[in-house]
Structure 1
Amino acid sequence: MSLTTILCQVEPGDAAMLDAAVATPFALAEAHGAQLTALVFGVEAEHTIAAEEQAAAMVRTAAERRGIPCETRSRSSFAYGVGDVFADHLRVSDLGVVVTRAGGGAVQRLMLGAAIFDSGRPVLVVQQQHPLEVMPARVVIAWDATPACVRAVHGAMPFIRRAAETLVVTVTDDKELRAGQSGIELTHLLARHGATARFTAVPRAGGGVPEAVLGAAPGGPGQMLVMGAVRHAPLHNIVFGSATQELFDRGPRLPTLVAA
C-alpha cells in the first residue's frame, strides 16, 4: 500500500489555528507525494460560509507554497453529522488525519469515532500541540492479533517501510494468543516487506495496555504507535480497561495510527 490521498478536517480560524490543523497533513503529503483533501468546516463552533471560504483559500495558498496538491471541500450536506461527512470522504482516501485538541469534547469524540469505526480506512490521530512533522523513525505495534490490529498494521505499511525500526509488542496477560499469532511471525512478514522489525513480549503488570506497550519502547520523539480499535461494552471498559477508550478519553500519547 502507498499513500496517494490523505484526508483531514480543518476548523476555520486565525492563521495560527490553521497552521496547527494542517501541520501533520502537510508533512505527510510532502513525504509521500500524496494529494491532500481538506474538509474546511466548523466542528467545534458555527462559522459563516464566508469564514469557511476564507479558511479554505488560506489552506490552498499555504499548500501551493509548499508544492502540495491540495483540494478543499466544504461540508457538502447538512443532512448528516460532521462525523458522517468525514467518514464518507475517508472511504475514498488512503488515510485520514484527525487532529485532537485539549478539551475537544463530545463533538470531537463523535468525529474520531466516525472516522475510525465507520470509514473502513486507517486513521492517524495526533495532538494539535504535538504534530507529526517528520516521519517516524520508530514504529511501535501493539500486537494482539485481532482483525482490527491486522488492518492497522496494513494501513501503517507506508510508515513501517520507511522507519529505521519497527517494534512489535505483545502484552502477554491481556489476550490469549493461539500458536501462529505470535508477533515473531509478524516480524518475519514485515521483514519481507523491507522493514527492520523485532519482537518483544511484556506483562501488563496491573497497568493499562498503552503503558505496557510504550514502556517496552525507548522514549523520545520520532515514534508512532499502531493499534487496532475495538468497541467494547461499557462494563468491559470499567472492569478491564480499554486502549481504544483511553484514546478517546485522553487523546493520543504520541501519533497513533488506528483501524477498526
Structure 2
Amino acid sequence: MTITTITTQIEPADPEALDAALELPFALAETHAAQLTVLVFPVETALAEASTPGWELAEREEASVARVRAAAQRRGIRCEVRARSSFAYGAGEVMADHLRVSDLGLLALQGAAGAGQRMMVGAAVFDSGRPVLLIPARAPLAVPPARVVVAWDATPAAVRAVHGALPFIRDAAETLVVTVTDDKDLRSGQSGIELVHLLARHGARASFAAVPRAGRSVLQALAAKAGEVEGAMIVMGAVRHAPIHNIVFGSATSDLLDARPRVPVLLAA
C-alpha cells in the first residue's frame, strides 16, 4: 500500500481557521509525495444555510477555495480544490465518490457530531471502499505517528484496515497489535502473533498484546490499552450492523462514532 492520493473535506472558514485545518492534510501530502483533493463545503448544510445568507455562504466558499489553492501552491503541493457545486447529492455521497479514486480519506471531527458529520463519516467509511483517518480536533496526528495500536479480530474489515494503515505502520517507531481476548475466538492462523510476523516482513517494529474485555465494551478496552502505551493512532475495522443488532449486542464502530476518540483512528470497512 502506497499513498498517492488523499481526499479531505474542510469547512469554509476565516483565514486563520482554514490554515489550521490544512496543516495536517498538507503534512501528509508532503510526507507521502501525494496528490491532495480538498473538498470545501459545510457538512452541517442546513445549519449553515439557516445562520448565513446564501450569497454570503457562497462568497465564503469561493474565498476559502482560493486560499486553499494559493496555500498549496506556496507549499509546492499538487492539490485539486473543489467546492460543492450541486446539492443533488449529500455531502457524504460527494465524499465517498472522491474517495473511491483516492488511497486515503482524512476527516476532522469537530465538536459534538451533528447529523451531517455522522452521515459524512458513515458514507466515507462504509460506501467508499477506502480507509478513512478520523482526526479529533484536540488530538492532531504526528507525522509519522510514534506508536500505532492495531485492533485485531481477524475480520475482513480489520484486514483492510491494517493494509490501509501500512504506510503509517512502516514509519511508526512501534506498532502494538491488540486482541480483546474474550470478545471472539481466533483460530491459530488468524492470531495477532501471525499478524505481527506479517508486519515485521513489511519492515514494521511490531509486538502483540492480549487484552481482557473485563466487562468493558471492545472500544473501551482498546482505548484503555492505547492510553496505557501512549498510542498515537488506533487502526480498526469498521462493521455496520443492522440497528437491532447494535441495540442487542453493541458495536465497536457505533461506539466510536458516538464517542469522541482521544487519538486519531484509521477505519476501513
Would you say same fold, with TM above 0.5?
Answer: yes
Matched position secondary structure for 1:258: strand
The residue aligned with 2:224 is 215
Counterpart selection for 2:113 from 104, 112, 123? 104
Q: Decide whether the 8 Å contact of 1:167 with 1:198 is kept in 2.
A: yes
Give the distance between the partners of 2:147 and 2:108, measured in 1 at CA: 21
Most deviating of 116-125 and 54-63:
54-63
State the Cα distance separating 1:176 from its structure 2 match. 1.9
Gaps of 5+ in 1: none
Alignment pair present for 1:148 and 2:157 = yes
Give the distance between the partners of 1:221 and 1:89, measured in 2 at CA: 33
Alignment pair present for 1:41 and 2:41 = yes
Matched position secondary structure for 1:167: strand
The letter of the residue matching 1:61 is A
Aligned pairs, number: 260
1:134–1:221 Cα change, 3 Å: farther
Report sequence identity in percent: 67
Q: Decide whether the 8 Å contact of 1:116 with 1:258 is kept in 2.
A: yes
Give the distance between the partners of 1:258 and 1:184, measured in 2 at CA: 21
Q: Over aligned residue pairs, what C-alpha RMSD do you find?
A: 1.7
Give the distance between the partners of 1:245 and 1:43, measured in 2 at CA: 20
The letter of the residue matching 2:103 is D
If each structure's helix is expressed as a fraction of its own residues, which one has the higher value? 2
TM-score by length of structure 1 reads 0.94
Give the distance between the partners of 1:19 and 1:220, measured in 2 at CA: 31
State the Cα distance separating 1:223 from its structure 2 match. 1.0
Give the distance between the partners of 2:260 and 2:225, measured in 1 at CA: 20
Q: Decide whether the 8 Å contact of 1:20 with 1:131 is kept in 2.
A: no
Give the distance between the partners of 1:259 and 1:248, measured in 2 at CA: 13
Gaps of 5+ in 2: none
Q: Decide whether the 8 Å contact of 2:219 with 2:256 is kept in 1.
A: no
Q: Decide whether the 8 Å contact of 1:20 with 1:129 is kept in 2.
A: no
Q: Decide whether the 8 Å contact of 1:23 with 1:131 is kept in 2.
A: no
Counterpart selection for 1:51 from 20, 38, 60? 60
The residue aligned with 1:24 is 24
Give the distance between the partners of 2:126 and 2:165, measured in 1 at CA: 17
State the Cα distance separating 1:21 from its structure 2 match. 2.4
State the Cα distance separating 1:220 from its structure 2 match. 7.1
The residue aligned with 1:15 is 15
Provide Cα deviations, 1:104-136, integer angstroms capped at 9, x if missing partner: 311100000000000000000011232224320
Give the distance between the partners of 2:238 and 2:12, measured in 1 at CA: 29
Provide Cα deviations, 1:86-112, integer angstroms capped at 9, x if missing partner: 100010001000111112311100000
